[in-house]
Structure formats: structure tokens, C-alpha cells
Amino acid sequence: MTHQFPPGFLWGAGTSAYQIEGSLDADGRGESVWDVFARRAGAVEGGGDGSRACDSYRRWAEDVDLVAELGLGAYRFSVGWSRVMPDGRGRIEQRGLDHYERFVDALLDRGVAPVLTLNHWDMPQALMADGGWAARSSVDAFAEYTAAVADRLADRVEWWITQNEPWIIALLGYQLGLHAPGVRDLGASVAAGHHVLLAHGAGADVLRAHPGTQVGAALSLFPCDPATFTEQDAAAAWGSDGYVNRWYLDPLAGRGYPADMREHYERALGRPLTEIRDGDEAAIGGRSDFLGVNYYTRRVMAAAEPAPGRPFPWRVVGPSGDVARTDEGWEIAPASFRDLLIRLHREYQLPVVVTENGGVFGDTPAHDGRVHDVRRSAFLRDHVEALGQALAAGADVRGYLHWSLLDNFEWALGYRPRFGLVHVDYVTGRRTIKDSARLYARIARTGALPADDEPIAPFG
């Protein structure tokens, strides 16, 4: 089945500052938590860091040209908080803002809508003196930073994402310590996740003083399915849904935190959630013009007794049988993507922008110089088809931003995983448009999936 997407639908791709920019000491930039974390022995696979990445802070014009060449109508990028406020608060570094202003203007000159993310995990290290996101002072710091960026760019940028993946910040950054800042404390993770949502509300209030802005947060959402048809596994899947999805969706939608998950946290911590104060939930809800959805795969859950390192009565067991997987081992599940979008429409009634969707496929240039990433092309087709099915079922989806434009620094996994539509040679910086990008350019140009046997013309 071929779907014709509506006029004005945003087709684009995304990146984030620390993953592509490099030039960590340029134009007065301060240290971020990822600079410090990457220096820990064993923190990043292969010992890499973001000091060079894709060299995009210097080669930004080349990347803008790539977006234009692919005919994409939107480009999601993040502003480096440490470039704008090197000390986390107070002093504003104008050279950093000058850079992003040039970048935004170049996108607009090419007819590309900027989709600006304010926090894509690279909090200034200076804010860790108070505890980073685990400290309530982070909310005011984020509001200051938002005001600095908005005062310069809100007259030209319509689409704003305050926070990227609050659950991942809380889980990997503050509970498991696998991401910056490397904290391992369940209570700190609860506080951090809550303050990230409070900061979304505070940032949205700042942005709404600028007419014409559209504000949302981007959530990493994982449909949670039971491993078996037993009541126990069904309860485990619902609990996992509360942990991963509803704990963030419900307060953003104005419903407050879900009671069942609050009970799970209080039981695991042995105390009330004093981090959540009177009025906090009201300061989070009703401040989203759209919901950003980052979708990669689903979670298959089974009941399990809590144990050290597993504070809740469920565990991820994965799908049974032989399923299609990315090179990172994640199940490829486009039907779950479709069902998620339909669920969000029915249960939350917020317009959606798919802010990330992609997979790890390690294809590199072949003898002819091209990257024949057949599996990414199939992944893209299947997920765009699922998106079309969700739209046909009534889901209010305004855009799809593939992750990512470029192969890049993949956080604790270093430079091994390749998510890009464009291959990057990390030694030379050379960009090579992959076959999947040629397919995606056709989709963006026509607003429809081409037939499976329709040849996709090369560029140039």
C-alpha cells in the first residue's frame, strides 16, 4: 500500500551538537558533562570522545548543503549549552550564538525549517557543582539558557525541542551511570527526570513569550509487550510502560505522574517522592504544542522479583524466535511504531513530530564509491509505511525526522555504530551520501513511497 503524505508534512533528519560538532575549545566554549565523562577510563567504547566527531562546527556549511541537496524540508540540530553559557549560568558567550545564528540563516536561505533542540544531553560541567539535573537549581539554569537562545533566534525558528529523552538522561546518566555524568543512584535519577520535565515547563514559558514558536519535548518511547499471555507478564509490561513511557507522557499531557509508578518508586526507595513538590505537575502540564517521539524498537517484558540492580518487578527478555535486527541487535519492529503513534493520538491528543527513528547498519563505501545500505533502505521503507498507516488511522503526525543525517559519535558506544543517511570517514571527514539517503530524498520530494522496483537516481 502506498500512502500520499499531506502537503506541508515535515520530512527531515537530525543530529546533535556533541555528536557531530567537535571543536570543543572553540569560541569560548565551556566544558560539558560529556567532556569530563569521556575522559573516564572505559566510559566510551574505543576510548573516543567528541573532540573531532564530524568536525561540523567548522564544516557546518557543507552539512547544510547536504540537507539542501537531499531536498529535506527540516533539519533538527541542537545548540551546545556550553557554547552559549560556558559556566552554565550568567555570562553569555556571543560567539557561540553567532555560530548558531549563521547556521539557522543558512538553513532558512535554502528553504529548510530549523528544528532546534536546547538540551541534547550536554549540560555544562559547571552545573555539576550543585548536582546537575539532580539539583532543583538546574531548572532555573535551563530557563536562563533558553532565554539567551530564544532572544537571538526565536524570531526565525518556529520548532523548538526543550529536552531530548528525559528517561535516558535519568536512567543512563543518573541511575546506571552509563552516560554522563555517570551517577549511579535511583533517588538521583528520579530527581533528575523530574527536574528535566520541570525545565521543559520553564523553558516553554520562556519560548511562549515569543510569538509563533511551537514547543515540545522529545521522548524516547518504547512500546512494552508481555512475553507471554499470563497475567503476571501483562502486569510487568504495564509496569514497564509506566517506567519508560507514562511517567513522562502523563505529566506533559497535564495528568500528573501516574499513581502506579509513583508507588513503584516509593517502594523501591523506601520513602515518599519529596522531589515532586506542590505545583510542580501544574508547571509541567499544558506546555507542549506537540510531542516529539523518538522510536527505535519495543520492549518485551516478563515478571521478575526485584533484585540488586533491578528495583522493579519486571525485566526485559526480548522477543522469542528469529526476528529482524539492526547491527546493534535491536529488534526492527515497524508495526510497534504504527501502534505507538495510534495510541498517542487516542490517549494523549497531542500533535506528534517523529523526532528520531533509525537503525545501526555498518555499511561502508564499496568498490564503486557508493554506500549500498540495503538494510537501512528497507528499514526506512517499512517505518515510513507504518507511519502512513498510522496517519490513515487518524494519528495527528506533523513530521518525520530520520536519525541521523550523519554517522557520528554515538555516546558511550563511541564511533562504531553508524546511524547516518550520510557516511562519514572519521579520518578525512569526507561525507558520502548513502543509497538510503537517495531513497529518502525521493520520499521527501514526492511525499510518497516509491514502488519497490522503482530505480532511485544517483546524485550528481
**Average pLDDT of span 17-22:** 98
138-184 pLDDT per residue, tens = 999 999 999 999 999 999 999 999 999 999 999 999 999 999 999 99
Q: Which residue has the higher pLDDT, 146 or 321?
A: 146
Architecture label for domain 10-446 = Alpha-Beta Barrel (3.20)
68-123 pLDDT per residue, tens = 999 999 999 999 999 999 999 999 999 999 999 999 999 999 999 999 999 999 99
Rounded distance between C-alpha atoms, residue 119 and residue 162, angstroms: 6
Judge whether residue 1 has pLDDT over 60: no
For residue 395, what pLDDT band results from cuts at 50, 70 and 90?
Answer: very high
Q: What percent of the chain is modeled with pLDDT above 90?
A: 96
178-205 pLDDT per residue, tens = 999 999 999 999 999 999 999 999 999 9
270 C-beta neighbours (distance < 10 Å), count = 7
Judge whether residue 459 has pLDDT over 60: no
Judge whether residue 453 has pLDDT over 80: no
Among 306, 296, 365, 358, smallest CA distance to 331 is for 296
Judge whether residue 354 has pLDDT over 90: yes
Mean pLDDT over each residue of the chain, to the nearest integer = 97
Q: Which residues contact 11 (CB under 8 A, 6 or more apart)?
A: 72, 73, 74, 399, 400, 440, 443, 444, 447
SS3 (DSSP) at 343: helix
24-40 pLDDT per residue, tens = 999 999 999 999 999 99
SS3 (DSSP) at 318: coil
174 C-beta neighbours (distance < 10 Å), count = 28
289-320 pLDDT per residue, tens = 999 999 999 999 999 999 998 999 999 999 98
State which amino acid sits at residue 156: R
- How do the domains of the chain map onto residue ranges? 10-446
* Distance from chain centroid for Cα 396: 19
Residue of 31, 93, 281, 356 with catalytic role:
356
Q: What is the pLDDT of residue 458?
A: 60
Provide the whole-model pTM.
0.97
State yes or no: is 328 an active-site residue.
no
State yes or no: is 356 an active-site residue.
yes
Residue of 165, 275, 281, 410 with catalytic role:
165
Ramachandran sector of residue 411 (left: φ over 0; alpha: ψ -120 to 50; beta: rest) = left
Judge whether residue 460 has pLDDT over 50: no
User: Does residue 32 have a cis bond before it (omega within 30 degrees)?
Assistant: no
Burial (CB count <10 Å: 0-12, 13-18, 19+), residue 40 = exposed
**Average pLDDT of span 436-460:** 83
